[in-house]
């Protein structure tokens, strides 16, 4: 039996490794294994994720995978400090005292925010799928919390698409985040990078580095070869329109990511890992990787400047050299000394995640499609809601493999 897996991201690699025990599996990858979780090899000789990555204690599937490859000893867990940048100043927002001292939200607003977080745990978020997030927050918590707190976060997470997002998404997200067992957001990172996991997951697989094109004739044909089953794990926009229609797959809107990664001799904040940017800047969040991992692991400070946009947005389509200047200009506003810069790289992902727009819950893709033996797994699968994550894609890869095993009577 022959199975094609399209995409060697974490979903594709997971599905391929399970299915390889039962079938002849070919993985097609048009760029590099690891997909959005892939890394860059710096001139200094270390690997670093092109886009910032960390995990959570509750990421069961990811942690199991890490354990399976005997990499658990590489995991580092820490409470990561967060901050909020207002104009040119960065305010830490971690302890109750820091939150009380934050001057741009009134005491009443802080209480409203705390109550909203508490209440979100018990709500049926699905009821709010058709409601817009901006409208929902305005009605429930008020204009000032919306403008001073949520708007910057929404812009940082969804760029110019933030107005389309559903209120259900926010409620679901707040609920899973506030339900986390460990207070103060304990995050995990793999010393030496998640590249080590990607390499282990790739071992032994038959990967063809070419763009796959799926055709449906008498059967399922990928790049001219017949397959008994196809697992599609790439962005749905990569599927031919007619195949997509025949398979009954909804149109899903994706957002793009542009991320500047900087190697430097100096840092911006003393100890904050994640800073959300309130005011309009080229980037919506600054992630100081070496305020989480020791700088000695790299021999230099590492800073990500993250932006979300649309595939046809100006940011996604601006040349690297222009973007570098824009990112550095905005970074200087927070005290970064350009003389400390070692290098700056720009990474882009055209399809970096679905926009959790109004009505999105109805669009989540099932593993089985209307086309016999064509399966879908990845960022639009149920485990990747309300957060698309490494854990969600590994879970989707596992679940689709289970469905195929059942359909073909493996075992
Ligand atoms: C900026 C950013 C930050 C993130 N931070 C975190 C984080 O901190 N923690 C976390 O858990 N997750 C994070 N994620 C999310 C995580 O990286 C993804 O959810 C996960 O890696 C997606 O895996 P996937 O296999 O579903 O999809 P992808 O990684 O997108 O894999 C799909 C693969 O298909 C390939 N492909 C596309 N078209 C074709 C074609 N026609 N033929 C062949 N191959 C094709 C692509 O090249 C890609 O390798 C982040 C993502 C981004 C963009």
- 398-411: pLDDT as tens digits: 999 999 999 999 97
**137-141, 185-189, 246-250: segment of lowest average pLDDT:** 185-189
Quote the ligand 1 centre to 378 CA distance (angstroms).
Answer: 8
- Residue 122's pLDDT band, with cuts at 50, 70 and 90, is confident
Distance, in Å, from the CA atom of 30 to the CA atom of 234, rounded to the nearest integer, reads 10
The response to whether residue 361 sits with its C-beta less than 6 Å from ligand 1 reads no
- Whether 181 shows a pLDDT value over 50: the answer reads no
Question: Has residue 210 been placed in a domain?
Answer: yes
Percent of the chain with pLDDT over 70: 98
Average pLDDT over residues 205-213: 98
CA 35–ligand 1 middle distance (angstroms): 4
* Residue having the nearest C-alpha atom to atom 6 of ligand 1: 53
For residue 369, the enclosing domain spans 2-53+194-252+364-407
- CATH code of the domain in which 127 resides: 1.10.3110
Residue 158 contacts by C-beta under 8 Å, 6 or more apart in sequence? Answer: 164, 165, 255, 308, 355
Ligand 1 within 6 A of CB of 257: yes
pLDDT tens across 297-322, in order? 999 999 999 999 989 889 999 999 99
Cα torsion for 264, 265, 270, 276, to the nearest 10°? -10
Both tokens assigned to 294? 């020791």
Q: Is there a domain that residue 73 lies in?
A: no
193 lines ligand 1 (CB under 6 A): no
Looking at the domain assignment, is residue 321 inside a domain? no
- 120 — pLDDT class (breaks 50, 70, 90): confident
Percentage of the chain beyond pLDDT 90 is 84
Position 198 scores a pLDDT of 98
Cβ–ligand 1 contact at 55 (below 6 Å): yes
Domain membership of residue 169 (yes or no) is: yes
The helix or strand, by DSSP H or E, that contains position 115, with its residue range, turns out to be helix 107-120
Q: How far is the CA of 51 from the centre of ligand 1 (A)?
A: 10
378 lines ligand 1 (CB under 6 A): yes
In the chain, the number of structural domains is 2
Distance from the alpha carbon of residue 204 to the mean position of ligand 1, in angstroms: 21
Do 157 and 111 fall into the same domain?
yes
Q: Is the pLDDT score of 279 beyond 90?
A: no
Once rounded to an integer, what is the mean pLDDT over residues 371-384? Answer: 97
Q: Is the CB of 276 under 6 A from ligand 1?
A: no
Same-domain status, 371 and 391: yes
pLDDT at residue 182, as a whole number: 43
User: Is residue 210 located within the same domain as residue 241?
Assistant: yes
111 within some domain: yes
Kindly report the pTM of this predicted structure: 0.96
Report the separation in Å between the CA atom of 233 and the middle of ligand 1, taken as the mean of its atom positions: 9
CA distances from 326 to 66, 131, 157, 291, 322 (A): 38, 35, 19, 23, 6
What's the CA-to-centroid distance between 338 and ligand 1, angstroms?
A: 32
Is there a domain that residue 278 lies in?
Answer: no
Does residue 120 sit within a domain?
Answer: yes
Q: Residue 349 is encoded by which pair of tokens?
A: 């992902």
pLDDT of residue 178 exceeding 70, the answer is no
Any ligand 1 atom below 6 A from CB of 30? yes
Segment 142-170 mean pLDDT: 90
- Best mutation site among 26, 194, 234 for ligand 1 pocket (most ligand atoms within 8 Å of CB): 234
Query: Which residues, including other chains, have CB under 8 Å from residue 398's CB and lie 6 or more apart?
Result: 14, 15, 18, 61
CA of 37 to the centre of ligand 1 (A): 6
What is the CATH number for 212? 3.50.50.60
């Amino acid at each position: 039996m022959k199975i094609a897996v399209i995409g060697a991201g974490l979903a594709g690699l997971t599905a391929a490794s399970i299915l390889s025990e039962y079938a002849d599996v070919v993985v097609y990858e048009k760029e590099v294994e690891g997909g959005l979780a892939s890394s860059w090899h710096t001139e200094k000789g270390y690997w670093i994720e092109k886009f910032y990555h960390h995990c959570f204690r509750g990421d069961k599937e990811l942690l199991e995978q890490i354990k399976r490859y005997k990499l658990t000893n590489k995991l580092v867990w820490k409470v990561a400090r967060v901050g909020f940048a207002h104009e040119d100043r960065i305010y830490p927002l971690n302890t109750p005292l820091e939150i009380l001292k934050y001057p741009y939200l009134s005491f009443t607003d802080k209480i409203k925010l705390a109550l909203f977080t508490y209440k979100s745990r018990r709500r049926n978020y699905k009821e709010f799928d058709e409601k817009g997030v901006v409208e929902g927050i305005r009605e429930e918590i008020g204009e000032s919390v919306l403008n001073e707190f949520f708007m910057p976060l929404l812009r940082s997470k969804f760029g110019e698409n933030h107005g389309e997002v559903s209120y259900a998404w926010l409620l679901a997200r707040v609920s899973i985040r506030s339900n986390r067992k460990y207070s103060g957001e304990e995050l995990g990172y793999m010393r030496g990078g998640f590249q080590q996991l990607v390499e282990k997951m790739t071992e032994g697989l038959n990967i063809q580095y070419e763009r796959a094109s799926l055709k449906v004739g008498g059967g399922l044909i990928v790049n001219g070869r017949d397959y008994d089953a196809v697992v599609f794990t790439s962005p749905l926009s990569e599927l031919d329109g007619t195949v997509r229609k025949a398979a009954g797959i909804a149109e899903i809107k994706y957002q793009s990511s542009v991320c500047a990664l900087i190697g430097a001799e100096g840092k911006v904040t003393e100890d904050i890992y994640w800073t959300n940017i309130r005011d309009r800047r080229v980037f919506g969040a600054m992630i100081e990787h070496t305020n989480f991992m020791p700088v000695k692991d790299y021999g230099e400070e590492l800073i990500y400047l993250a932006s979300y946009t649309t595939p046809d947005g100006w940011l996604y389509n601006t040349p690297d050299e222009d973007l570098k200047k824009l990112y550095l200009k905005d970074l200087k506003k927070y005290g970064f000394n350009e003389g400390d810069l070692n290098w700056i790289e720009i990474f882009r992902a055209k399809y970096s995640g679905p926009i959790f727009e109004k009505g999105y819950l109805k669009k989540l893709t099932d593993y089985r499609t209307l086309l016999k033996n064509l399966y879908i797994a990845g960022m639009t699968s149920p485990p990747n809601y309300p957060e698309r994550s490494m854990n969600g894609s590994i879970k989707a890869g596992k679940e689709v493999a289970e469905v195929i095993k059942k359909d073909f009577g493996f075992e």
